[in-house]
Structure 1
Amino acid sequence: MTSEAAVAANAPSSALQSGPAHKDFYLLRSFVAGGVAGCCAKTTIAPLDRVKILLQAQNPHYKHLGAFSTLLAVPKKEGFLGLYKGNGAMMVRIFPYGAIQFMSFDRYRKFVSINLGISGHIHRLMAGSMAGITAVICTYPLDMIRARLAFQVKGEHRYKGIFHAFKTIYTQEGGFPGFYRGLTPTIIGMAPYAGVSFFTFGTLKSIGLKHAGSVLGRPSSDNPDVLVLKTHINLLCGGIAGAVAQTVSYPLDVTRRRMQLSAILPDFEKCHTMLQTLKYVYTTYGVRRGLYRGLSLNYIRCIPSQAVAFTTYEIMRQVLYLN
């Protein structure tokens, strides 16, 4: 009897009847799991994401306000749906982004462990960084569109929608290179963000299951031989991972947004390169009101976002029989 036959013979009958074969469309199922996780996470914090963009780029209508004041001011000025401006473009972007990130993380983790011989917790850091960079490069134009749409204020619309924004940027900002303005700080910022995020979550998960598995874990619904964290523990670990990762990479996130929006800002000539933008933001606004402006809101948004992303992905892994 082959090893696969032996596994099948010993598997629970319910799994054989309802679960797909271990390798059938595995990459597709992994892709869907990551996409669903990303969409759930971003939908949860979409209003906070809009406010963050307005603060990072010093929108003239809200730059005198703080994070919570802006959160209250946007519905008064633009209506409740103003909090979700640009969210359509975000959903178009975030499904492939989340799908590529989570799927490629699994592939990179195996590659680093098997081909490079790197094990322990460090392989999660490397795999997470590479997965984040891969997802960013593949979906960056959509992030650009989303930022432009979210920055607009009611009554001062430059773009009518997603397709109009694509057309305008392509024709007026140098073709396809215009969609990748700010890519360098994004990649530099994404490497530590995604790496630290996956590293922190994976490390907390492995330590928890290893030392307190009977308390923190339970058998996976698709494979009773695999122990997974309970849902509320997953949420906690994901939230911690998001907070740590954001602290490390936030100044580069501010730089990315200002470069993305440079063409529609009055000080655009000072934000052409990453170093130029970092220096300008620092000298003009300082650390707290410049490089880390909006961070208090970002903590509030990144904790539930990462908590929901990791938890949803763990649930989808069980639903789609990926364990």
Structure 2
Amino acid sequence: MTAEAMSSRVQTQIPTPVQKDYYYFFRSFVAGGVAGCCAKVTIAPLDRVKILLQAQNPHYNHLGVFATLKAVPKKEGFLGLYKGNGAMMIRIFPYGAIQFMAFDSYKKFLSTQLGISGHIHRLMAGSMAGMTAVIFTYPLDVIRARLAFQVTGEHRYTGIRNAFQTIYLKEGGISGFYHGLTPTIIGMAPYAGFSFFTFGTLKTLGLTHFPELLGKPSLDNADVLVLKTHVNLLCGGVAGAIAQTISYPLDVARRRMQLGTSLPDYDKCLSLKKTLKHVYTKYGIKNGLYRGLSLNYIRCIPSQAVAFTTYEFMKQILHLN
């Protein structure tokens, strides 16, 4: 083989910049998906209780958070705490994957193309990433909410496939899968934005001012500092708590709109404005707009802690640093 032929062969084996970008995005996609699944499995029982309380399920409406956690296994068995979790896993992998991948992409775009940097580009990138992930995976979120709201012995849907068919045939086709999309997008913007913003800011401050105390070399790049695992968990938990406090009423409205005809008063929850007004008028702020918030703190803190920590770990495993 001539030197010219060998040179040509080597050049064809070197990944082009476009191929490198696709490979990077694929690894980022996988890292985000794994992070999302790990986070949701951790708090699946709390998610089920949250839906039951937010939507005032008649079987558990008189109970509090911890009483409901005890009552569900007694009435529906231990697996009742994981009802709807199959649909959640089908949804959460692409959701987490798209969200984390989109965040990195938006952050890079805002910084390089628009010249927006500092703390503000984290907030903007996080908001856009959250909305992007919601739009792509929303129908699965609706299915999961419907299945989780069911109580054993009173099933309207026999499973994920049946729920898809029933909603499509009886609730206006494709549009039936997008009930509550408006409050979800409106709520996701501040939630995802402040979540990524808070975590990124805490991470930057920690590694800048206390690198030896809070940081350690990355597994895939010794020149890059990453937060220690317990610090990652703490920063992720704080980020989740702040984000949830800001966006919670919109989350309540979203769940009620998603459940649609599963609720007796669904005709009063056809729009964001009507839903918020109805919940506030009938149940008030504490028992309506912020019902289940204590549970949400319990679930969102470990969820976000695990999500960010797993993603940071997967970035090292998949050589994203």
TM-score, length basis structure 1: 0.93
Structure 2 vs 1, CA of residues 177 and 24 (structure 1 numbering), >3 Å: closer, same or farther?
Answer: closer
**Residue equivalent to 2:115:** 117
2:290 aligned with 1:292: yes
* Contact 1:129 1:190 (C-alpha < 8 Å) held by counterparts: yes
* Contact 1:181 1:259 (C-alpha < 8 Å) held by counterparts: yes
2:274 aligned with 1:279: no
Q: Which letter does structure 1 place at the counterpart of 2:60?
A: Y
Aligned-partner Cα distance in 1 for 2:137–2:52? 21
Deviation at 1:189, TM superposition (A): 0.1
Which of 201, 214, 217 is 1:216 aligned to? 214
Aligned-partner Cα distance in 2 for 1:254–1:116? 35
Aligned-partner Cα distance in 2 for 1:279–1:22? 50
Which of 55, 60, 65 is 1:57 aligned to? 55
2:75 aligned with 1:97: no
TM-score, length basis structure 2: 0.93
Structure 2 vs 1, CA of residues 136 and 23 (structure 1 numbering), >3 Å: closer, same or farther?
Answer: closer
**Residue equivalent to 2:141:** 143
Aligned-partner Cα distance in 2 for 1:208–1:214? 10
Q: Secondary structure at the match of 1:45?
A: helix
Deviations 1:9-35 (A, max 9, x none): xxxxxxxxxxxx965711111100000
Q: Secondary structure at the match of 2:210?
A: helix
Deviation at 1:147, TM superposition (A): 0.1
Q: Which letter does structure 1 place at the counterpart of 2:277?
A: K
Aligned-partner Cα distance in 1 for 2:215–2:280? 45
Aligned-partner Cα distance in 2 for 1:261–1:167? 15
Which of 255, 258, 261 is 1:257 aligned to? 255
Aligned-partner Cα distance in 1 for 2:174–2:70? 37
Deviations 1:63-112 (A, max 9, x none): 00011110110000000000000000000000000000000000000111
**Residue equivalent to 1:304:** 302
Aligned-partner Cα distance in 1 for 2:22–2:257? 43
Which of 146, 157, 160 is 1:159 aligned to? 157
Aligned-partner Cα distance in 1 for 2:22–2:109? 20
Deviation above 4 Å: which 4+ runs of structure 1?
21-24
Deviations 1:193-234 (A, max 9, x none): 000000000000000000001110001000111100000000
**Residue equivalent to 1:169:** 167
Structure 2: segments with no counterpart, 5+ residues: 1-18
**Residue equivalent to 1:67:** 65
Q: CA RMSD in A?
A: 0.9
Q: Which letter does structure 1 place at the counterpart of 2:247?
A: S
* Contact 1:22 1:321 (C-alpha < 8 Å) held by counterparts: no
Aligned-partner Cα distance in 2 for 1:183–1:202? 27
Aligned-partner Cα distance in 1 for 2:148–2:298? 19
**Residue equivalent to 2:201:** 203
Q: Which letter does structure 2 place at the counterpart of 1:271?
A: C
Aligned length: 303
**Residue equivalent to 1:235:** 233
1:12-23 superposed matches below 5 A: none
Aligned-pair identity (%): 78
* Contact 1:246 1:302 (C-alpha < 8 Å) held by counterparts: yes
